[in-house]
Structure 1
Amino acid sequence: MNRKTLVLPAVVGLLAPVLAACGGSDGGGSDGDAIAVGTTDRFVATKKIPAPFDPAYAYDAGSWNVLRQTVQTLMAMPRSGSGEPVPEAAESCIFTDSGSERYVCTLRKDLKFASGDPVTAADVKYSIDRVRAIKSSSASYGLLSTIDTIETQGSDKVIFHLNTPDATFPYKLATPTAGIVNPDDYDKRKLRDGFEVDGSGPYTMQAEVDGDAIVKTVFTKNPHYKGQLKPKNDKVELVSFADADAMGKALEKGDIDLMTRTMSPEQINAYSTTPPKNVNLVEMPGMEIRYLGFNTTADSVRSKAVRRAMAQVVDRGELAAGVYGTTAEPLYSLVPAGITGHQNSFFNKYGDPDKAKAKQMLSQANISTPIKVTLHYTSDHYGSGTKKEFEVLQKQLNASGLFDVDIKGDKWETFRDSQLKGEYDVYGLGWFPDFPDADNFLAPFLDKDNFLATPYANSSIRGQLIPAERREADRLTASKSIQQIQNIVADDVPVLPLWQGKQYVAARDDITGVEWALSASSVLQLWELGRGVSG
């Protein structure tokens, strides 16, 4: 296929290339060999987000998907994104005790960084200890909270001593937070600012930057890579667009070959019925969830009765269908359907939306109505549907007569910084799992050092139930504790789950491997893409 040269109207001035790793891309523009993938993920390096691609800081799906192409981890999830992790930089990893507290990994032979430097057990220890020591504001280090100490034996053996049993630990070693970096390039005491990445993954990267934002990231096959992945291409370009409409037009013109996050609901519906010529839409299972979070110390929502009343009024069915159509389903727990241990705790407690019940809750707590509150959302991180979603929430809550709701959208870098500082009483966030286990839909929101920096703390959840479910290697056995946590969340409402989404990829018909481009855990697997023959 002859593709036109890609033109980005929003780019002004010269693009400055940022070379990452010695084996970086040899070219900055599109060419006939590279597969071009569109995204609306926006990668910026600012004072608020200084190091978007440092494993010690990165903690969102877009940045992680860049790291997964470039930085190796000891373990990795299977191609499907579900099931148990498999060795990646490691040749083998295993618990050596019956209590899931001692985990030993042996590295592959002759493992090298893209620079050609050898990867050693000391490098693994350095990388993970660095994340734990820096403790960045993103709170990604919470994934490694069960590590007590790390020991090395020789150049190829790493021994993790855990401070508590953790059957989910192999999953955590498969996340970019546990990515292996070269100590020569990453200071032990501070983040690596900017867009440079140096690792031992399947690709090296070169970023084309305009101002403080990336407009294109070029991934080039790493000749030194050794792992379980088998890249089916030599080069992929990840092209950032301002919105889904611009991304869709580029696909239809042939300027890009594939697009995924984040397509608009309107695009998905249109492509499902009348796809553009030579373009196919592929639907995939997904584990993305959306929810409202609460600053439980804020005056407006400090009372449990207020949060319960919101849970009683919100109509998830209307919200999901009205904004997202068939691409989303109502969610009644932080743990989505399809994950072992899921149960509909919020529906079991509140049933269908009921204004009278909500009014009674507030009356019994002696709370005057209407309750004035602002719902905050990010205007540029999850796609065009987010604003519409919050307009529906505003309408539902105000129609009850119990709330006086305003809504306000901010760009991601402002939104996330303000949310972490506790400046929002109520805010909307999404969650793409770090790994496909119920623990990862609960602990990041409820355990200490959590993703939300929430003041909410339940002693039973933190002291008993999370440790109990992590002791169980059999996740079905762990379900008893997992379901108790979900019931407590429905009772206290520190978060309010809203909907669970599906995943979609649209691609030109000469691109192969599209069905594997996104795993069930929302991992972008660029190594699966190839170029075939157009139909």
Structure 2
Amino acid sequence: STGSSLVMGMSDDVLATDPASGYDPGSWLLFNNVFQSLLSFPNGGTEPVPEAAKECAFSDATTKVYKCTLQDGLKFSNGDALTSEDVKFSFDRILKIDDASGPAVMFPMLDTVQTPDAKTVVFRLKYADATFPSKIASGAGSIVDHRQYADNGLRKDDQAVGSGPYKLDSFGKDQAVFAVNDSYKGTAKVKNSGITLKFFHGDQSALKKALLNHQVDIAYRGLAADDIADIN
């Protein structure tokens, strides 16, 4: 990584640090930085591309069996290897916990997740769903370390262990601090030495003021169109 540390402000709160719970834009921003999904959306793109996976495809014309092969040498930020076991664990866990504010609602079609070997994941769907790749490319597809998460309950310590471009150093009411994850293998190009994400709890005028006073470098979401025009 190059560059200095970045301060980002957003008016959304982050409601969850555990991917089995969050289904809001703030939480997904955190997940996309701390965790990997099998696929991800390129900047400005709407077609998912391989991320933790080397390749993914429907294995028949019915779009009911979806197979992914993982990249070689994937590791979580704590050094644990990321294998198909973690992928299966992550999806099974979302469905088992079935959190009311979580992403389980996105996967009614998911029947079973199979792991024929350490690098292969096979999703069997109850019914055809051509949009399944886009669903697993979202924050809902975040892969957690099966050694670090319980399969039957949410993690409550405001910590997160993933394989994304950043690791979560600290998380509090008003900000989250991210350090670069040097063991990350994926599509994101990290151009800074870390991120501090400040939460403005819905207060757009405070976010605008912080941006104008150079207390934040970037505003993510939550600025009204005329505020953005003012700053540019």
Q: TM-score by structure 2 length? A: 0.93
For residues 66 and 175 of structure 2, what CA distance do their matches in structure 1 show?
39
Residue pair 2:14, 2:24 contacting (<8 A) in 1 also: no
Deviation sequence 1:80-111 (CA, Å, 0-9, x none):
132x2111000000111111011110000000
Moved more, 257-266 or 130-139: 257-266
Of 26, 29, 33, the residue aligned with 1:65 is 29
Aligned to 1:37: 8
Of 178, 197, 205, the residue aligned with 1:219 is 178
Deviation sequence 1:266-302 (CA, Å, 0-9, x none):
5245x1xxx4xxxx3xxxxxxxxxxxxxxxxxxxxxx
For residues 221 and 193 of structure 1, what CA distance do their matches in structure 2 show?
23
Aligned to 2:88: 125
Deviation sequence 1:319-357 (CA, Å, 0-9, x none):
xxxxxxxxxxxxxxxxxxxxxxxxxxxxxxxxxxxxxxx
Of 198, 220, 223, the residue aligned with 1:239 is 198
For residues 87 and 267 of structure 1, what CA distance do their matches in structure 2 show?
36
Structure 2: gaps of 5 or more residues: none
Aligned to 2:208: 248
Aligned to 2:134: 171
Matches within 5 A, 1:282-431: none
Aligned to 1:263: 223
Moved over 4 A (4+): none
Structure ranking higher on relative contact order (CA contacts 8 Å, 6+ apart): 2
For residues 227 and 43 of structure 1, what CA distance do their matches in structure 2 show?
24
Deviation sequence 1:67-87 (CA, Å, 0-9, x none):
1000110011122132x2111
Structure showing the higher helix proportion among its residues: 1
Identity %: 38
Aligned to 1:104: 67
User: Number of residues paired by the alignment?
Assistant: 229
Residue pair 2:50, 2:56 contacting (<8 A) in 1 also: yes
Deviation sequence 1:27-71 (CA, Å, 0-9, x none):
xxxxx9211111122235xxxxxxx12111100111111110001
* Residues 166 and 114 (structure 1), Cα distance of their counterparts in 2 relative to 1, 3 Å cut: same
- Secondary structure in 2 matching 1:254: coil
The Cα RMSD (Å) is 1.6
Q: TM-score by structure 1 length? A: 0.41
Does 2:16 match 1:56?
no
For residues 182 and 219 of structure 1, what CA distance do their matches in structure 2 show?
18
Matched AA of 2:176: T
For residues 120 and 167 of structure 1, what CA distance do their matches in structure 2 show?
25
Moved more, 133-142 or 240-249: 240-249
Residue pair 2:19, 2:102 contacting (<8 A) in 1 also: no
Deviation sequence 1:398-436 (CA, Å, 0-9, x none):
xxxxxxxxxxxxxxxxxxxxxxxxxxxxxxxxxxxxxxx
For residues 43 and 161 of structure 1, what CA distance do their matches in structure 2 show?
32
- Secondary structure in 2 matching 1:66: helix
For residues 91 and 109 of structure 2, what CA distance do their matches in structure 1 show?
12
For residues 139 and 200 of structure 2, what CA distance do their matches in structure 1 show?
24
Deviation sequence 1:342-382 (CA, Å, 0-9, x none):
xxxxxxxxxxxxxxxxxxxxxxxxxxxxxxxxxxxxxxxxx
Residue pair 2:74, 2:81 contacting (<8 A) in 1 also: yes
Mark the structure with the bigger radius of gyration: 1
Residue pair 2:34, 2:168 contacting (<8 A) in 1 also: yes
